[in-house]
Amino acid sequence: MQKLFDSPAAALADVADGSSVAIAGFGVGHSYPNSLVIALRDQGARGLCIVANSLGAGGDFRPQILVQNDQVKRLVLSFSSRPGLPSPEEAKVAAGEIELELVPQGILVERMRAAGAGLPAFYSPVTVGTPLQAGKEVRSFGDRSFVLEHALPVDVALIRGYRADRFGNVEFRGSSAHFHASFAKAAKLAVVEVEEIVEPGVIAPERVGLPGIFVSRVVHTTTTYPAPKGLMGRRAADSNREYFGKPALSRSEMAQRVAAMLPDDAYVNLGSGLPTLVAGHTQGKTIILHAENGALGYDLLEDTTDLDVDFFDAAGNFIRMRPGGAVFDSVVSFEVARSGRLSAIVLGAYQVSAQGDLANWALPGQIGGGIGGAMDLAASGSHVIALMEHCDSKGNPKLVQTCSCPLTAPACVDVVVTDLAVLERIDGRFVVTALVEGFTRDEIQSITPMKIDFADQIRAM
């Protein structure tokens, strides 16, 4: 059996116009099959439907180049736009040149897994009560509503691994397995690029992350590209906003406050952006961090001169695994998330409503957005903490009676931590239980247009 090809170009020479192509990769630049992406650009197939978590950013070797080369007709993504990172796909979608379907990260991987497993559809609690529910069948099981999601088979999958043999058996490293296996299984033609091609038997059977029966072609990675910077959400951690002429907590102090709220031995997921800072205050504690790309039990790597590019969290930050930690793919990671096994989930937010509705993936009027894993996490039934500034950069309140931003999930937020206060949802209402020293109840109420109560005893933050 021979699945080895001499080059990425040879492996993709027969990709036809109009093909659906799944491209694995995480965040703005982690473990993309860059050599294959460049080969597909040079091959020139047109009218493609690209399925991906995101198209990456900031380089001429990530899937965005297919959009720039006018090869793409349709996109199925979890991230089509990111704050502060203008993208060619965002501009072309807005201009009506490319069709876009947004899919929550965990549902994307589940739709691919279903296709690989020969299952036509499944019901999911994710997207209930959100704009993404529109037009889909909804059915009740017990006392919960579920949305019907269809499998997502593709013609071609481009994936990346660590090592492979001529039978197509693939080994992954660290937390870089994420979407690769599920994408390959959903494809008629799965092509993998690897750092090393080895003889059969060199990869021990128990280390095979993707059996060769799912892999059509194997090529050697032709070019090494620089690692992403891995600092998402960790900038300006010590800056303070001012309200009423007085300084609020810094972003780092907010994160420290959340870390102090987490119980020992808690399993905790941290969303991208501001929640990522919480990880800097969990080192030395027994809190066990979970990342959607497939890591459990890790610490942020503060010295990135000592990084391993295959170990990163869902925000793209490089990590070091703790003793007793584990890595796995995104299928397993979202099994952990949606099954309610996490003790707490910390998410950023554009808005939180009086009913506990969460909105954190798009702004009103925005074309597309960045859903990521937030919808899957928020629908899990686990304890959800929203971590955000009390007002946005323009001074607009983020705690509102009713969300004007598209919802991530309804009635899911249990606690809100801002740079001014802690609010806990008790008996259906948010109650202020802690305030930053120097701020009064009247001041907080004046910039909080939702209905709130104040505890008899309010702690100082």
66 compared with 28, residue with greater pLDDT: 66
So what's the pLDDT on residue 125? 97
Q: Which residues make up the CATH 3.40.1080.10 domain(s) of the chain?
A: 8-220, 241-460
- Cβ–Cβ under 8 Å, residues 318 and 307: yes
H helical segments located in 12-157: 34-43, 64-68, 88-94, 105-116
Average pLDDT over residues 442-458: 97
Average pLDDT over residues 223-246: 76
**Residue 85 pLDDT greater than 80, yes or no:** no
223 compared with 415, residue with greater pLDDT: 415
Task: Name residue 166's amino acid.
Answer: R
Tokens of 314: 């869902």
- Cβ–Cβ under 8 Å, residues 168 and 419: no
pLDDT digits (tens, 9 = 90+) for 102-126: 999 999 999 999 999 999 999 999 9
- Cβ–Cβ under 8 Å, residues 212 and 168: yes
So what's the pLDDT on residue 282? 92
**Residue 256 pLDDT greater than 90, yes or no:** yes
Q: What's the pTM value of the predicted model, to 2 decimals?
A: 0.95
**Residue 233 pLDDT greater than 60, yes or no:** no
Kindly indicate whether the domain formed by 241-460 is annotated with CATH number 3.10.129.10: no
Average pLDDT over residues 243-252: 97
Percent of the chain clearing pLDDT 90 (strictly above): 89
Tokens of 425: 């949802």
So what's the pLDDT on residue 238? 77
What phi and psi, each to the nearest 5 degrees, are found at residue 381? 85, -5
Cα–Cα distance, 198 to 1 (Å, whole number): 14
444 compared with 57, residue with greater pLDDT: 444
Helices (H) and strands (E) in the chain, counts: 10, 26
Tokens of 214: 């799912």
391 compared with 229, residue with greater pLDDT: 391
**Residue 404 pLDDT greater than 70, yes or no:** yes
- Between the CA of residue 327 and those of 73, 204, 279, 417, what are the distances in Å? 35, 17, 17, 30
Cα–Cα distance, 24 to 185 (Å, whole number): 12
**Residue 326 pLDDT greater than 60, yes or no:** yes
Confidence of residue 457 (pLDDT cuts 50, 70, 90): very high
**Residue 281 pLDDT greater than 60, yes or no:** yes
Tokens of 100: 């876009």
Cα–Cα distance, 123 to 159 (Å, whole number): 27
Active-site annotation, residues: 292
So what's the pLDDT on residue 231? 53
- Mean pLDDT is lowest, of 93-97, 202-206, 282-286, for 282-286
So what's the pLDDT on residue 227? 80
pLDDT digits (tens, 9 = 90+) for 127-173: 999 999 999 999 999 999 999 999 999 999 999 999 999 999 999 99
Confidence of residue 230 (pLDDT cuts 50, 70, 90): low
So what's the pLDDT on residue 82? 78
Cα–Cα distance, 398 to 390 (Å, whole number): 6
Confidence of residue 236 (pLDDT cuts 50, 70, 90): low
So what's the pLDDT on residue 306? 85
Neighbours of 443 (CB within 10 A): 15
So what's the pLDDT on residue 393? 92
DSSP character string of 259-314? HHHSPTT-EEEE-SSGGGGGGGG-TTSS-EEEETTTEEEEEE-S-GGG--TT-B-T
Cα–Cα distance, 383 to 414 (Å, whole number): 6
- CA-based nearest residue to 82, from 110, 59, 58: 58
SS3 140: strand
How remote is the C-alpha of 78 from its chain's centroid?
Answer: 8
Per the DSSP assignment, residues forming a β-bridge with 220 are 194
**Residue 234 pLDDT greater than 70, yes or no:** no
**Residue 289 pLDDT greater than 60, yes or no:** yes
Cα–Cα distance, 15 to 22 (Å, whole number): 12
Which CATH number does 8-220 carry?
A: 3.40.1080.10
So what's the pLDDT on residue 264? 93
Q: What is the mean pLDDT of the chain?
A: 95
Average pLDDT over residues 231-242: 68
Q: What is the dihedral of CA 392, 317, 25, 186, to 10 degrees?
A: -90
So what's the pLDDT on residue 70? 97
So what's the pLDDT on residue 303? 80
Cα–Cα distance, 95 to 91 (Å, whole number): 6
Cα–Cα distance, 403 to 272 (Å, whole number): 21
Element (H, E) at 184: helix 180-185
Task: Name residue 237's amino acid.
Answer: A
